[in-house]
């Protein structure tokens, strides 16, 4: 780089401290040039630093954005894995039975009731009754109790009614002589007894009041004949508080609270158990209650009804039920016209007294023929069956109030209930 003397303007030699022409010092010029050069270098360095910082900033921002994207991808991946595991857990079942495949889709049955069936199956028996060596009836039953001497079987009363001999066949195939120790025609429940050594298993008793509509239930019994002994039918509980009218021989029409199911109940199933998913008996199936014209509608006696009287039946005691001592017919019966019974338009439901038994509670309360009973203790009486249903909620010795329509007027009559001698 050339050095110029500021005083004379001439070029001076390299390394000279004084101008060879005018003798002026050139130190300041050199310093100035050095400073300018230093400043230029500093500016260059600063510019380079700014570029480096800018690049670092861009790199940092890029990394930051990439980290956000990676984090989002990671979260989505975790959620997908969790969803997959959940679906796998729902589909997985160690007890699932594969029935077949179609277009790579597995079809499985996971609600098997095998354990529940095993719990009650060997307690079920086939019941045959006869009279004078002539077959009367057959049905099913189940062993509900065992002591040191005997096993106790519950079945329907109509299965062993009028029998002089009864035999049962257990699930082991052994035929055993049985004895009827008690029965009740109204509730259609009977108790049989066999030797304790012949008992293969005892059923567990459940509680039908804890069952809900839609619960899985099943029956075990002998539909049609002995060839089909041990048949299981499955369904749901269709109704757990149904009241139906039963028309039966000597007992006349009466109402019963029953369990309704769509499980198939056929002739021969009578007396067998209706069982819940836990393998507990919650009812006694009865063909007596079934309307044959309607499929998918079977009925069972709630186990609580049967067990409430079982102690009396085991001991051979008759069932005490209250009675008032009248014969009845319903409002729509032709007997009304025969006896000239008339009502105004307000009386559309009730039951008519045809005859009053002498010295009966009704006779003592001065009830009369042609009286129309329309309520008991405020509960409406619609027909003779409903009168029995309401009456049998009471006990012998209770005093009830009958609402009676007589000669165009409603009157209240109190009646003290006595013991019925009719089973």
- Residues with a catalytic annotation lie at 158, 188, 270
Q: Residues 228, 230, 234, 236: is their CA dihedral positive or negative?
A: positive
| Residues 283, 274 contacting (CB under 8 angstroms) | yes
Distances (CA, A) of 305 to 120, 182, 202, 262: 20, 15, 19, 21
**Chain centroid offset of residue 371 CA:** 45
Q: How far is residue 371's CA from residue 326's CA, in Å, rounded to a whole number?
A: 11
């Amino acid at each position: 780089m050339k050095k110029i003397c500021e005083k004379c303007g001439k070029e001076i030699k390299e390394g000279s401290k004084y101008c060879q022409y005018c003798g002026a010092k050139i130190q300041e010029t050199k310093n100035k040039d050095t400073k300018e050069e230093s400043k230029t270098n500093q500016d260059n360095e600063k510019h380079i630093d700014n570029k480096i910082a800018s690049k670092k900033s861009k790199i940092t921002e890029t990394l930051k954005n990439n980290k956000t994207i990676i984090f989002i991808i990671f979260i989505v991946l975790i959620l997908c894995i969790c969803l997959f595991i959940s679906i796998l857990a729902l589909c997985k079942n160690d007890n699932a039975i594969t029935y077949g495949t179609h277009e790579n889709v597995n079809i499985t049955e996971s609600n098997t009731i095998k354990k529940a069936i095993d719990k009650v199956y060997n307690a079920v028996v086939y019941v045959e009754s006869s009279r004078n060596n002539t077959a009367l009836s057959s049905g099913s039953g189940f062993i509900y109790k065992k002591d040191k001497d005997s096993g106790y079987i519950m079945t329907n009363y109509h299965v062993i009614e009028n029998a002089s001999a009864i035999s049962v066949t257990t699930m082991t195939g052994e035929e055993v002589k049985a004895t009827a120790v008690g029965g009740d025609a109204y509730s259609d429940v009977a108790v049989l007894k066999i030797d304790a050594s012949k008992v293969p298993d005892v059923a567990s008793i459940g509680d039908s009041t804890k069952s809900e509509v839609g619960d899985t239930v099943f029956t075990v019994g002998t539909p049609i004949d002995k060839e089909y002994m041990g048949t299981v039918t499955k369904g749901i509980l269709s109704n757990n508080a149904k009241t139906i009218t039963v028309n039966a021989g000597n007992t006349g029409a009466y109402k019963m609270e029953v369990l309704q199911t769509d499980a198939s109940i056929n002739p021969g199933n009578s007396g067998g158990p209706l069982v819940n998913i836990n393998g507990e008996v919650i009812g006694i199936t009865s063909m007596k209650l079934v309307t044959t014209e309607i499929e998918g509608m079977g009925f069972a006696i709630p186990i609580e009804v049967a067990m409430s009287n079982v102690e009396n039946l085991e001991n051979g005691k008759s069932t005490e039920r209250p009675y008032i001592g009248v014969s009845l017919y319903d409002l729509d019966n032709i007997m009304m016209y025969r006896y000239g019974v008339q009502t105004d338009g307000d009386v559309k439901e009730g039951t008519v007294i045809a005859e009053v038994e002498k010295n009966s509670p009704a006779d003592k309360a001065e009830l009369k023929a042609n009286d129309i009973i329309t309520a008991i203790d405020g509960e409406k009486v619609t027909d003779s069956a409903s009168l029995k249903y309401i009456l049998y909620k009471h006990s012998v010795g209770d005093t009830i109030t009958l609402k009676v329509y007589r000669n165009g007027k409603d009157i209240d009559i109190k009646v003290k209930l006595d013991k019925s001698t009719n089973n």
